[in-house]
Amino acid sequence: MSTTIAKSPKKFHKEVENLNNEIIESIKNLKGIDIIKMDLRHLHDAPTDFFIICEGTSNTQVKAIASNINRHVKETLDIKPNHVEGEKSSLWICVDYFNTVVHVFHPDMRKYYALEDLWSDAKTVVYENLL
């Protein structure tokens, strides 16, 4: 008979916070722009706890940012995403880490889908662009 030990909510929150910080760092490392973190935990119908949204200026940069997130998070935290979608077109790549879903957009696609507007009641943190 095996026993499972549930993580304390405080420890679990710290692990998700570390994941989010590493994701944001990996986006900044490749000069991703207009980075925001949306806390959806207080919303009833939210599909996850956090969205991290950013954009690249080209399809090539969008793909590079998503790849860098995967590589960096794997190297620093030994966490692989549950699923990655959109790499072929590189207009909108979604990287799913269960509690955090990262959306890396081409600017036109970000405007079109307007996730920030759709989830406007989320608590949002905006990060400065690196120049």
Average pLDDT over the chain, rounded to whole?
Answer: 91
Tens digits of per-residue pLDDT, 111-129? 999 999 999 999 999 999 8
Task: Identify whether 46 is part of a domain.
Answer: yes
Q: Is the model's pLDDT at 110 over the cut of 80?
A: yes
Average pLDDT on 78-98 reads 96
| Both tokens assigned to 31 | 């000069």
pTM for this structure? 0.89
User: What would the pLDDT profile of 25-50 be if each residue is shown by its tens digit?
Assistant: 999 999 999 999 999 999 998 999 99
Domain that holds residue 70: 10-126
Classify each residue of 50-86 as buried b or exposed e, where b means 16 or more C-beta atoms within 10 Å of its C-beta: bbbbbbbeeeebbbbbbbbbbebbeeeeebebeebeb
Q: Into how many domains does the chain fold?
A: 1
CATH of the domain at 113: 3.30.460.10
23 occurs within a structural domain: yes
* Band of pLDDT at residue 14, cut at 50, 70 and 90: confident
